[in-house]
Amino acid sequence: MPPVPHFVRADMLPSGYLIRPCEGGGSIIHIVDHMDLEPWSVPEVLRPLYESPTVLAQKTTMAALRHLRQISHEVSQPNVTGWGRRPAALRALSQRLSR
């Protein structure tokens, strides 16, 4: 699409996720995106809100998806033995120790 005069372009950046339960069991993951408008097109006071780097947003979303995949793997294989393959057990233990 050719550039159009007086048209502000923006980038879609991932900014988080929302997990909602399903009625039949399981859950749905919604990836939440925000618009990164051109910084010159917004007032100076709001400019820092629009200058979020793409790489940081991508890293955050990928880390969230890796964490969700790890949790789903733990839930699908609950009988795995050994502390190294059970991060949920380690998290529960560390929470108890911190109390």
* Digit-coded pLDDT (tens) for 22-67: 888 888 777 766 655 566 666 666 666 556 666 666 677 777 777 7
Predicted pLDDT at 26: 80
Predicted pLDDT at 41: 62
Q: For residue 68, what are the CA distances in angstroms to 5, 38, 48, 96?
A: 43, 32, 30, 22
Q: How many secondary structure helices (H) and strands (E) does the chain include?
A: 3, 2
Residue 70 phi, psi dihedral angles, 5° rounding: -65, -45
Residue with tokens 């399903």: 22
- Report the C-alpha gap between 71 and 19 in whole angstroms: 13
Taking the alpha carbons at both ends of the chain, their separation in whole angstroms is 58
Mean pLDDT, the chain, rounded, equals 66
Reply yes or no on whether the pLDDT at 4 is more than 70: no
Domain ranges of the chain: 10-77+84-98
Q: What is the DSSP letter of 5?
A: T
